Homo-oligomer: A and B are copies of this chain.
Amino acid sequence: MSELPLEDFYCIIPAGGVGSRLWPLSRADAPKFLHDLTGSGSTLLRATWNRLIPLSGEQRVMVVTGRAHRAAVEEQIPALTDENVVLESEPRENTAAIGLAAAILERRHPGVIIGSFAADHVIGNEPLFRAAVTEAVAAARAGYITTVGITPTEPAVGFGYIHVGEPLTVSGAKSVRKVVSFVEKPNLKTAKKYLAGGDYLWNASMFIAKASVLLEQIGTSHPEMLAALLELAEAWDDPATRGPAVDRIWPSLTKVAIDYSVAEPAAAAGKLAVVPGHFNWDDVGDFASLAKLNSSGRPTDLAILGENARVLSDASSGIVVSQTGRVISLIGIKNVVVVDTPDALLVTTSENAQRVKSVVEALRLTGSTEVL
């Protein structure tokens, strides 16, 4: 295994999404990545940073976030320098975020390898994580766009999957394989087939590649976007030119997820590789996921999040998130989900966890934006 930190390797942390399915815990001004969702004492963003610096070193992590979150992000990561923060004037999806960071890094350090890791995922067993990323960086060095796919532990229907193909021969990446395709979230029957077959991994949205290769791939499907990103990167490091370039170019960038702009076309072109990861991973996509994550592995426990939580319950499943210190009494609801915040209350069940997003939409439509 290569020595850490890895040579010429930069981490990019796109810290963007609010996490609507975790409303009213997650808000526009308190997005998911700024919460400690595991009781670890660290926000997800900080935990992501802590996990990545052994791989790249402190000076080689770049966070891409919204202007509104600058202060909160810097509070979480005091070591961040101005050079290592990219502030988005408005959200334009993660191809723009990751692409701009890659273009800036490529300009500063030609030939650099970048790895993009979501700011709001939870990962256990970090030595295995580092081993997988180290292999992925070796594959990237060999020219592949490489992802780390998670070995499934159950027939999850909430994740996308990676269909894995033949092994590749890459020095320093003994388990790397070709990606056949990326597939959308399956139904339960299909998920069970994937789990049994062994050729499918969970898509954890990690992408490791030479910055130049990633940018080239963006250019293949979105040439106008590549041109814009390069122009922005060119102007970035000069205070006199950055502002005008951002104002002119950023709002024009296509809103597209990197899964569509990079992963799927690269897989179709045979340029995508995957390293299987055997560590625990979760994107904490909704309260059902958060309940599972916080029930100490015992499915018969009610998970309770909140320092001053005072919960009296007969529920043997589900989750209570308490931010108010109020007494919370629950009687007779299976898989109950209660999120108690100072200005908004959510009551539902794990089975309905995915529908929380629609509440956020409804609140937006009815003008209750102050609680979003």
Contacts and interface: CB of A to CB of B under 8 A. Distances in A.
Interface of A: 24, 310, 312, 326-333, 336, 338, 340, 342-349, 351-352, 355-356, 359, 362-363, 366, 368, 371
Given A332-B355, A359-B331, A326 B310 contact: no
A348 B368 contact: no
Contacts of A351: 332
A363 to B, nearest CB: 6
A349 B332 contact: yes
Given A312-B359, A312-B362, A347 B352 contact: no
A233 to B, nearest CB: 42
Contacts of A363: 312, 327, 329
A330 B348 contact: yes
Contacts of A340: 345
Total copies of this chain within the assembly: 2
Nearest to A351: B332
Given A312-B363, A359-B312, A368-B310, A343 B331 contact: no
Contacts of A333: 333, 347-349
Contacts of A328: 344-345, 347
A141 to B, nearest CB: 48
Contacts of A327: 24, 343-345, 363, 368, 371
A352 B331 contact: yes
Nearest to A354: B331
7 closest A-B pairs by beta carbon, nearest first, are: A332-B352, A331-B348, A327-B344, A331-B352, A329-B359, A328-B345, A327-B371
A124 to B, nearest CB: 30
B336 A347 contact: yes
Nearest to A368: B327
A167 B343 CA distance: 59
A333 B333 CA distance: 8
Nearest to A359: B329
Given A328-B344, A333-B347, 6 more contacts: A326-B343, A327-B363, A327-B368, A329-B346, A329-B363, A332-B349
Contact of A330 (B24, B312, B347): B347
Contacts of A371: 327
Contacts of A326: 342-345
A356 B344 contact: no
A320 B343 CA distance: 16
A169 to B, nearest CB: 50
Contacts of A343: 326-327
26 contacts: A24-B329, A312-B363, A326-B342, A326-B343, A326-B344, A326-B345, A327-B343, A327-B344, A327-B345, A327-B368, A327-B371, A328-B344, A328-B345, A328-B347, A329-B347, A329-B348, A330-B347, A331-B346, A331-B347, A331-B348, A331-B355, A332-B349, A332-B351, A333-B347, A338-B347, A347-B347
